[in-house]
């Protein structure tokens, strides 16, 4: 393997690795605009120039592959590189509107960060045009806003729409100072992956309409999560503040979603925010369902689930639930005194977890954990329809239903109708759900549970990759994670030792099952997908606030 020396650090990399990739791997920072790890390198911005020993001219690190014994120096070490980088920045800033106060990218903008860099930023401008070139601002392109004046002409967006989403909707027009990004006739973008344009754009030229003026990014808190919009399981970062999600952006994971996610998944948090959330446990009384305390609801649930005997029980699982919740649900099913059927499928046909919806990421199965549910044996029955049939025939005693409405698309009416039939036919029914809706009328106990983004746990995607999702928000009202509620419904002493955290359930329960063998919660947690943006670069200008 070639060994390249960058800024005095010897780095051993595979042949054909680009200098910028080698530097990224070693944690040496090279500024860049046009290079993106998941786009074809183009080398047009000249921000990444480095000095290679023996070469007369500086070379772009993003298009030059390493060779053995290459000696590279970056702006940190080399004066000529520093001068060149400074020059590129200065040119880019000549016509830049400097409107950071109204720009949503401020705080995560490459141009801003590089200008504040101690090595090549903070220079006074030697070019002072009498008038800046003005271009179009705040142009609404559907999911994206275009502000041409802020563009640094890196062409990442053009390459994204040509190479990745394949819609080819963006192109450069005009020449020289007047170059602009344009969508044909300014029509709204019809790319179902257009949201990624705001992420690839290193500056504020393309920003998200959904996030527009919502919050300055430095107020956001982050949680690494997994999109619950389909069985692909894209790695995402939930950006939230004041217990509300402000946006969801992709995290880079070359094995699953590269740096991308679809717009449906990106906006799926709105569906969650729009749900009328169930905030307190309910109990059936003469006057319909009435709020009760958790303790009462639990006592009632435990008592009801111990009898009536002599009939079969039905447990409905959900592929929206985490592996940990499903595992506890299995224990619940096992603990019932009668033979129990458990299933999350409507009929006894296995869901086609792999079926694609398009060429890129989306899959037809709109639940994030169907694979996990299958592996955990939560799809072992004859399907919910068949269980409902038995209930109508009066054969079912206890019914436990766990249900979350999907985050992409609508609730399946056939499924809800089957739930209703189950509840009507059962002698005793417990419902765990996160939403106020009509189908659970008639249930004996209804328990409010936390949704995606409100509880941690693991999902297993279509390909069998088990990934961790962190909690970002606190659940509304008295809602609790479903695994907690289910664990407390189990007869005392049936789980020993008492499982107090998701980690314990995973390590002592889930990981015992052969499909999950060798996995540890702690290593899932530390196996961090790379975050994009800001992709391995530190933000400058933050020190002032951090030290406050």
Partner 1 sequence: MDKKDSQVVDVSVQAMNLGTGVTGMAAGFAVTLKNMVRSVPGRNTVTIQYPEQRKPYSRRFRGVHALTVRPNGQLKCTACFLCATACPAECITIEASAVTDDAIEKVASRYEIDLSRCIFCGFCVDACPEEAIVMTREYDLATHDRMDELQYGISDLTDREEIQAYGAGYRPHMQYPLVESYLPTELPAKPQDDID
Question: Roughly what angle, to the nearest 10 degrees, separates helices 323-335 and 482-489?
Answer: 20
Q: Which is nearer to ligand SF4, 151 or 519 (CB)?
A: 151
For ligand FES, the binding residues in 59-118 under the rule CB under 6 A are 60, 62
Q: Decide: is 399 part of the binding site for ligand FES (CB under 6 A).
A: no
Fill in the per-residue mask, 427 to 456: x = in contact with ligand SF4 (CB under 6 A), - = not in contact: ------------------------------
Binding partner selected for residue 62 from ligand FES, partner 1, ligand SF4, none, CB under the kind-specific 5 to 8 Å limit: ligand FES
Q: Which residues contact 307 (CB under 8 A, 6 or more apart)?
A: 337, 397, 428
Binding partner selected for residue 282 from partner 1, ligand FES, ligand SF4, none, CB under the kind-specific 5 to 8 Å limit: none
* Helices (H), ranges, 95-194: 110-115, 156-159
Question: Roughly what angle, to the nearest 10 degrees, separates helices 413-425 and 384-392?
Answer: 30
Q: Which is nearer to ligand SF4, 83 or 354 (CB)?
A: 354
Which 3 state secondary structure label does DSSP give 184?
helix
- Within a 13 Å sphere around the CA of 284, how many CA atoms are in the beta-carbon half? 14
Q: Using CB under 8 A as the criterion, which residues of the chain lie in contact with partner 1 when the complex forms?
A: 99-102, 106, 137-138, 212-214, 216, 218-219, 545, 548
* Of 232-240, 301-309, 317-325, 493-501: span binding ligand SF4 (CB under 6 A): 232-240
Q: Which is nearer to ligand FES, 154 or 329 (CB)?
A: 154
In angstroms, the CA 389 to CA 422 distance is: 8
Class of residue 525 by CB neighbours under 10 A (exposed 0-12, middle 13-18, buried 19+) = middle
Q: Decide: is 405 part of the binding site for ligand SF4 (CB under 6 A).
A: no
- Closest separation between CB of residue 204 and ligand SF4, Å? 8
In angstroms, the CA 190 to CA 203 distance is: 22
Omega before residue 497 within 30° of 0, cis: yes
Binding partner selected for residue 100 from ligand FES, partner 1, ligand SF4, none, CB under the kind-specific 5 to 8 Å limit: partner 1
Q: Which is nearer to ligand SF4, 233 or 301 (CB)?
A: 233
Q: Which is nearer to partner 1, 139 or 386 (CB)?
A: 139
Name which position in 11, 33, 135, 260 contacts ligand FES (CB under 6 A). 33
For 217, the token pair is 């990014």
Go through the chain and tell me how many residues it has.
548
Name which position in 154, 249, 267, 328 contacts ligand SF4 (CB under 6 A). 154
Class of residue 8 by CB neighbours under 10 A (exposed 0-12, middle 13-18, buried 19+) = exposed
Binding partner selected for residue 138 from partner 1, ligand SF4, ligand FES, none, CB under the kind-specific 5 to 8 Å limit: partner 1
Q: Decide: is 159 part of the binding site for ligand FES (CB under 6 A).
A: no
Nearest to 402 by CA among 340, 450, 365: 450
Residues that contact ligand FES, how many (by CB under 6 A): 12
Q: What share of the chain is helix, strand, coil (3-state, %, to 5)?
A: 30, 20, 50
- Closest separation between CB of residue 181 and partner 1, Å? 17
Q: Decide: is 471 part of the binding site for ligand FES (CB under 6 A).
A: no
* Helices (H), ranges, 95-242: 110-115, 156-159, 195-200
Name which position in 265, 281, 397, 481 contacts ligand SF4 (CB under 6 A). 265
In angstroms, the CA 238 to CA 222 distance is: 6
Q: Decide: is 35 part of the binding site for ligand FES (CB under 6 A).
A: yes
Binding partner selected for residue 205 from ligand SF4, ligand FES, partner 1, none, CB under the kind-specific 5 to 8 Å limit: ligand SF4
- Closest separation between CB of residue 508 and ligand FES, Å? 48
Which 3 state secondary structure label does DSSP give 417?
helix
- Closest separation between CB of residue 131 and ligand SF4, Å? 22
Q: Which residues contact 78 (CB under 8 A, 6 or more apart)?
A: 50, 51
Q: Decide: is 261 part of the binding site for ligand SF4 (CB under 6 A).
A: yes
In angstroms, the CA 472 to CA 515 distance is: 28
* Of 46-54, 95-103, 371-379, 437-445: span binding ligand FES (CB under 6 A): 46-54
Question: Roughly what angle, to the nearest 10 degrees, separates helices 294-306 and 482-489?
Answer: 50
* Of 45-53, 243-251, 476-484, 539-547: span binding ligand FES (CB under 6 A): 45-53
Q: Which residues contact 546 (CB under 8 A, 6 or more apart)?
A: none
- Closest separation between CB of residue 101 and partner 1, Å? 3
Q: Decide: is 192 part of the binding site for ligand FES (CB under 6 A).
A: no
* Helices (H), ranges, 399-519: 413-425, 482-489, 502-508
Which 3 state secondary structure label does DSSP give 466?
strand
Q: Which residues contact 57 (CB under 8 A, 6 or more apart)?
A: none
Q: Decide: is 93 part of the binding site for ligand SF4 (CB under 6 A).
A: no
Q: Decide: is 421 part of the binding site for ligand FES (CB under 6 A).
A: no
The whole-angstrom distance between residue 414's C-alpha and the CA centroid of its chain comes to 29
Q: Decide: is 408 part of the binding site for ligand SF4 (CB under 6 A).
A: yes
Q: Which is nearer to ligand FES, 45 or 482 (CB)?
A: 45
Question: What stretch of H or E contains 12?
Answer: strand 9-12
Q: Which is nearer to ligand FES, 6 or 289 (CB)?
A: 6
For ligand SF4, the binding residues in 171-200 under the rule CB under 6 A are 181, 200
Binding site for ligand SF4 (CB under 6 A): 151-157, 181, 200-203, 205-206, 227, 229-230, 232-234, 257, 261-262, 264-265, 361-362, 408
Binding site for ligand FES (CB under 6 A): 32-35, 43-48, 60, 62
């Amino acid at each position: 393997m070639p060994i390249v020396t960058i800024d005095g650090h010897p780095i051993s990399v595979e042949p054909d690795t680009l200098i910028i990739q080698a530097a990224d791997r070693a944690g040496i920072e090279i500024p860049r605009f046009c290079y993106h790890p998941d786009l074809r390198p183009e080398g047009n911005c000249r921000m990444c120039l480095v000095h290679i020993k023996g070469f007369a001219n500086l070379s772009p690190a993003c298009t030059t592959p390493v060779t053995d014994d290459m000696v590279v120096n970056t702006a940190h070490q080399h004066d000529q590189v520093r001068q060149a980088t400074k020059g590129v920045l200065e040119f880019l800033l000549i016509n830049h509107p400097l409107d950071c106060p109204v720009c949503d990218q401020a705080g995560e903008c490459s141009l801003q960060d590089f200008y504040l860099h101690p090595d090549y930023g903070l220079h006074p401008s030697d070019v002072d045009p009498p008038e800046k070139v003005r271009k179009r601002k705040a142009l609404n392109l559907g999911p994206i806003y275009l502000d041409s004046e802020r563009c640094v002409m890196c062409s990442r967006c053009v390459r994204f729409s040509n190479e990745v989403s394949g819609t080819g909707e963006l192109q450069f027009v005009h020449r020289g100072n007047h170059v602009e990004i344009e969508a044909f006739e300014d029509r709204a973008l019809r790319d179902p992956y257009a949201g990624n344009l705001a992420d690839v754009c290193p500056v504020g030229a393309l920003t998200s309409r959904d996030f527009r003026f919502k919050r300055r990014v430095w107020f956001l808190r982050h949680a690494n999560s997994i999109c619950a919009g389909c069985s692909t399981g894209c790695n995402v970062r939930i950006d939230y503040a004041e217990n509300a999600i402000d946006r969801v952006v992709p995290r880079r994971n070359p094995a699953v979603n590269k740096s991308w996610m679809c717009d449906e998944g990106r906006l799926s948090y709105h569906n969650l925010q729009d749900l009328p959330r169930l905030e307190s446990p309910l109990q059936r009384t003469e006057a319909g369902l009435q709020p009760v305390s958790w303790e009462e609801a639990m006592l009632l649930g435990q008592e009801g689930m111990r009898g009536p005997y002599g009939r079969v029980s039905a447990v409905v699982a959900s592929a929206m639930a985490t592996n940990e919740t499903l595992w506890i649900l299995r224990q619940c099913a096992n603990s019932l005194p009668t033979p129990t059927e458990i299933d999350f499928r409507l009929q006894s046909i296995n869901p086609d977890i792999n079926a694609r919806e398009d060429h890129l990421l989306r899959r037809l199965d709109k639940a994030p954990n169907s694979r996990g549910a299958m592996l955990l044996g939560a799809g072992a029955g004859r399907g919910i329809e068949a269980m409902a049939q038995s209930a109508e025939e009066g054969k079912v005693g206890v019914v436990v239903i766990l249900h979350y409405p999907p985050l992409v698309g609508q609730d399946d009416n056939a499924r809800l109708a089957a739930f209703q039939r189950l509840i009507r036919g059962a002698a005793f029914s417990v419902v765990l759900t996160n939403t106020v809706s009509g189908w659970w009328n008639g249930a004996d106990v209804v328990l409010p549970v936390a949704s995606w983004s409100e509880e941690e746990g693991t999902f297993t995607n279509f390909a069998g990759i088990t990934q961790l999702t962190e909690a970002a928000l606190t659940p509304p009202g008295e809602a609790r994670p479903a695994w907690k509620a289910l664990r407390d419904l189990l007869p005392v002493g049936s789980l020993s030792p008492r499982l107090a955290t998701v980690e314990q359930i995973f390590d002592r329960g889930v990981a015992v099952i052969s499909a999950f063998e060798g996995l540890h919660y702690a290593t899932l947690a530390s196996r961090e997908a790379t975050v994009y943006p800001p992709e391995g670069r530190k933000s400058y200008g933050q020190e002032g606030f951090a030290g406050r």
